[in-house]
Amino acid sequence: MRLRRPRWSGRLSLTQQVALLSLVPIVALGFILAHVLETQILTRTLADADQSAQLIARMGIQPRLSPRDLRQGLTPAGIRTLDEQLSNRQVSRDLARIKIWNQQHTVIYSDLHGLIGRTLAASDDLANTLAGRPNAAQLITPSAHNETAGEVGLGQLVEVYVPLRFAATGRPAGAFEIYLSYRPIAATVARDQRTIVLLVAIGLGLLWGVLYRIVARASRRLRGQARENYDLAHYDQLTGLPNRTLFIDGVTKAVDREESGPGAVAVLLIDLDRFTEINGTLGNANGDAVLREVARRLSGDLDNGTLAARLGGDEFAVLCPGTRGISGAQTVAAAVQASLEAPIVLDGVALDVEASIGIAVMGVHAGDPDLLLQRADAALAHARLRCSRVEVYTEECNRFDARRLMLLGEVRGALERGEFILVYQPQFDLPTRSVTGVEALVRWRHPEHGLLSPSDFIPLVEQTALIGPLTLNVIDQALCQMVAWRRRGIDLDMAVNLSARNLLDPALPGQVADLLARHGIAAARLTVEVTESAAMVDPDRAIAVLRALRASGVGVSIDDFGTGNASIGYLASLPANEIKIDRSFVTEILADARAEAIVRATIDLARNLGLTVVAEGIETEAVIEHLISLGCETGQGYLLSRPLAADRLTASLTASFGLAPAGPRAPATLST
């Protein structure tokens, strides 16, 4: 299943929108500028035309006229002179028509000779000019209905009135009415306009281009930032997998689509076993490398339709949108286990990584995504506690999950009410079958749930600081029992179990010494059992605590030997005086050559390191014989005795076993 990042805009990108929107005012500005400049060009051109008309009138014609000509009219010779003057190329080039008026509104000269001598009604402009008032040049289109009737056919014209004066002051003697052809002027105007429009367009185009670049760059940066923020909020930075937020989003979408009907969407929650140990032993950098490799396998090895995510810590999730019910989800879970099967190699060390998986299926176990995840989580908790690797959600998981939480809340009260009790499993000297000591094993006599075994609550309590008081309570009870037995003439060694968290508590050795002193029991009669993995969570602190215990005389036994990941070198560095071979090897010793080899090697190792070796889980006589033949002479197991309540064990010791308890063992010590 592929998750697409969201698109960062609608149909048009931000840059495109800004580009289009900014184009509107820029084009409008272009039009306004072009219009203003066009008007200015026209005004300037008309002013130029006015000037050249005045030049023609004042320099070209007026010197050929006298006040008499205006009063009496021009002689034919005078008319010819003016005709010649006007035929001059310089003058005639722009001139379209000329009329010279006297104050009586009589045309005394015109290039259109038919007008000469005619007296016409004066236009406003002519009257103004004859009165000495200024008149601006203007652009006209001649019309048959007014005084320009004679100019029809000359096209657009620039009309200029110039007063005709012979003296510097007083009313003009007459007026020139001059029409210049607009065509050459229009050509100049058009050329200038073209140049201006081109320059304006280039300028605004450049402005728009710069603006576009700025916006495009800012928009690119914004998009980059948005993508980065999205990634930070939706992807796990260590593994690159989707995080919880995106996973929940994916589940919701898959449920909404429900392409293949109910039971199609399943969620697998995956938790790596012993990851805390890996982190503690190999360091955080290697822990990170493990998480990255697991992520790579989950996203690479599984079917393409699945979506893998890291929910946090060592918890991963897989969303399977196309599973057909529970069996389909179980197939995916098997694929997950298979993909984690190959050891992860870190700095040349092959590491086996195992995972617990909780499964919940939509439509079967839950009706909405939230509940689906909750159910998968309850199934995972169940799988972890039952060490069953894969659990599909059942009602029991939920009850169990709720019970787990309730149990945790009840531990403190249970300690005060004395609900934690001990049973004792004897350890035997195998050749003589004499009891050498006992291992104290805790039980919770719960008022509602009955007698709970350690696996029901120790893994829970271990995760909290309450394991401290619980352990001290167990040791206290065990020592009490030793005193009680001693009063009855039964002298036994005592072994108690410690949790990983106890080994991180530097106060523990002092507290144990206090308890021993209070009960008047020699430290050498007490042994603490620690598993390899517990000692590996924080090896330095664990070794310091164990050394202090050993220094005070308390025995240290490595419990469940052979099941952890500790190296022989590390185990040899532990200040222990005893090894307890795990029952999984002991029970299989006759059936499985590998188990037998491990037991044999462990016994050899213990002998060479000067440690006592104890076999646990002895269930048959044949196993006892074999252990003796291999050199292991101490053991415990259901065959010899199940763990028993103190009074029953007392009775057995004195009656059924009929054996006098052996004296104290002298603990062998590993150099510390």
Q: Catalog residues that contact Mg ion under the rule CB under 5 A.
A: 497, 529, 559-560, 616
Spatial separation of the C-alpha atoms in residues 138 and 140, rounded to whole Å: 6
Spatial separation of the C-alpha atoms in residues 364 and 254, rounded to whole Å: 15
For ligand C2E, give the closer residue by CB, 250 or 617: 617
For ligand C2E, give the closer residue by CB, 255 or 438: 438
If contact means CB under 5 to 8 A according to the sort of partner, which of Mg ion, ligand C2E, none does residue 425 touch?
ligand C2E
Which stretches of 86-144 are assigned E, i.e. beta strand? 95-102, 107-110, 138-140
Question: Taking the complex as a whole, how short is the minimal distance between the CB of residue 263 and Mg ion, in angstroms?
Answer: 42
Question: Taking the complex as a whole, how short is the minimal distance between the CB of residue 591 and ligand C2E, in angstroms?
Answer: 15
Question: Taking the complex as a whole, how short is the minimal distance between the CB of residue 550 and ligand C2E, in angstroms?
Answer: 19
For Mg ion, give the closer residue by CB, 444 or 561: 561
Alpha helix segments (H runs only) across 418-452: none
Give CA separation, 251 vs 259, 316, 404, in Å.
13, 14, 27
If contact means CB under 5 to 8 A according to the sort of partner, which of Mg ion, ligand C2E, none does residue 499 touch?
ligand C2E
For Mg ion, give the closer residue by CB, 125 or 616: 616
For ligand C2E, give the closer residue by CB, 110 or 425: 425
If contact means CB under 5 to 8 A according to the sort of partner, which of Mg ion, ligand C2E, none does residue 643 touch?
ligand C2E
Which stretches of 277-433 are assigned E, i.e. beta strand? 307-312, 315-320, 344-346, 349-351, 355-361, 390-392, 420-429
For Mg ion, give the closer residue by CB, 159 or 439: 439
Helices (H) and strands (E) in the chain, counts: 22, 22
If contact means CB under 5 to 8 A according to the sort of partner, which of Mg ion, ligand C2E, none does residue 453 touch?
ligand C2E
Spatial separation of the C-alpha atoms in residues 628 and 6, rounded to whole Å: 70
If contact means CB under 5 to 8 A according to the sort of partner, which of Mg ion, ligand C2E, none does residue 619 touch?
ligand C2E
Tally the C-alpha atoms within 13 A of residue 24's C-alpha that lie toward its C-beta: 5
- Cβ-contact 595, 589 below 8 angstroms: yes
The residues of the shown chain that bind ligand C2E, judged by CB under 6 A, are: 425, 441-442, 453-454, 458, 474, 497-499, 529, 559-560, 583, 616-619, 636-638, 643
Question: Taking the complex as a whole, how short is the minimal distance between the CB of residue 226 and Mg ion, in angstroms?
Answer: 56
Question: Taking the complex as a whole, how short is the minimal distance between the CB of residue 350 and Mg ion, in angstroms?
Answer: 26
For Mg ion, give the closer residue by CB, 15 or 497: 497
Q: Residue 530: in which H helix or E strand, if any?
A: strand 526-531
For Mg ion, give the closer residue by CB, 264 or 498: 498
For 512-517, which contacts have Cβ atoms below 8 Å and span 24 or more sequence positions? 512/475, 512/549, 512/552, 512/554, 513/552, 515/472, 515/475, 515/476, 515/479, 516/479, 516/552, 516/554
Spatial separation of the C-alpha atoms in residues 500 and 542, rounded to whole Å: 8
- Cβ-contact 325, 359 below 8 angstroms: no
Question: Taking the complex as a whole, how short is the minimal distance between the CB of residue 442 and ligand C2E, in angstroms?
Answer: 3
If contact means CB under 5 to 8 A according to the sort of partner, which of Mg ion, ligand C2E, none does residue 441 touch?
ligand C2E
Question: Taking the complex as a whole, how short is the minimal distance between the CB of residue 529 and Mg ion, in angstroms?
Answer: 4
For 392-397, which contacts have Cβ atoms below 8 Å and span 24 or more sequence positions? 392/326, 392/329, 392/330, 392/359, 392/360, 392/361, 393/358, 393/359, 393/360, 393/361, 393/365, 397/358
Question: Taking the complex as a whole, how short is the minimal distance between the CB of residue 496 and ligand C2E, in angstroms?
Answer: 6
Phi, psi at 112, each rounded to 5° = -90, 95
For ligand C2E, give the closer residue by CB, 361 or 475: 475
Question: Taking the complex as a whole, how short is the minimal distance between the CB of residue 487 and ligand C2E, in angstroms?
Answer: 23
For Mg ion, give the closer residue by CB, 495 or 521: 495
If contact means CB under 5 to 8 A according to the sort of partner, which of ligand C2E, Mg ion, none does residue 460 touch?
none
Question: Taking the complex as a whole, how short is the minimal distance between the CB of residue 375 and Mg ion, in angstroms?
Answer: 33
Question: Taking the complex as a whole, how short is the minimal distance between the CB of residue 586 and ligand C2E, in angstroms?
Answer: 8
Q: Which residues of 567-602 are buried (b: 16+ CB within 10 A; e: fewer)?
A: eeebbeebbbbbbbbbbebbbbbeeeeebbebbbeb
Spatial separation of the C-alpha atoms in residues 214 and 231, rounded to whole Å: 26
Question: Taking the complex as a whole, how short is the minimal distance between the CB of residue 471 and ligand C2E, in angstroms?
Answer: 6
For ligand C2E, give the closer residue by CB, 188 or 453: 453
The tokens of 107 are what?
Answer: 């045309």
For residue 293, give the 3-state DSSP assignment: helix
Question: Taking the complex as a whole, how short is the minimal distance between the CB of residue 380 and ligand C2E, in angstroms?
Answer: 21
If contact means CB under 5 to 8 A according to the sort of partner, which of ligand C2E, Mg ion, none does residue 641 touch?
none
If contact means CB under 5 to 8 A according to the sort of partner, which of ligand C2E, Mg ion, none does residue 500 touch?
none
Instruction: Give residue number: closest CB to Mg ion.
Output: 529
Number of Cβ within 10 Å of residue 507's Cβ equals: 10
If contact means CB under 5 to 8 A according to the sort of partner, which of Mg ion, ligand C2E, none does residue 454 touch?
ligand C2E
Phi, psi at 310, each rounded to 5° = -110, 120
If contact means CB under 5 to 8 A according to the sort of partner, which of Mg ion, ligand C2E, none does residue 638 touch?
ligand C2E
Sorted by sequence, the CB contacts under 8 Å of residue 4 that are 6+ apart come out as: none
For ligand C2E, give the closer residue by CB, 391 or 616: 616
Q: Residue 50: in which H helix or E strand, if any?
A: helix 14-55
For Mg ion, give the closer residue by CB, 559 or 633: 559
If contact means CB under 5 to 8 A according to the sort of partner, which of ligand C2E, Mg ion, none does residue 163 touch?
none
Q: Find, among 341, 368, 337, 353, the residue nearest to 267 by Cα.
A: 368
For ligand C2E, give the closer residue by CB, 23 or 441: 441
For ligand C2E, give the closer residue by CB, 380 or 586: 586
* Residue pointed to by tokens 């989580």: 377
Intra-chain end-to-end CA distance of the chain, in Å: 56
Q: Find, among 175, 133, 123, 184, the residue nearest to 157 by Cα.
A: 184
* Residue pointed to by tokens 């009313």: 171
For residue 16, give the 3-state DSSP assignment: helix
Question: Taking the complex as a whole, how short is the minimal distance between the CB of residue 426 and ligand C2E, in angstroms?
Answer: 10
The tokens of 306 are what?
Answer: 């699945």
Question: Taking the complex as a whole, how short is the minimal distance between the CB of residue 562 and ligand C2E, in angstroms?
Answer: 12
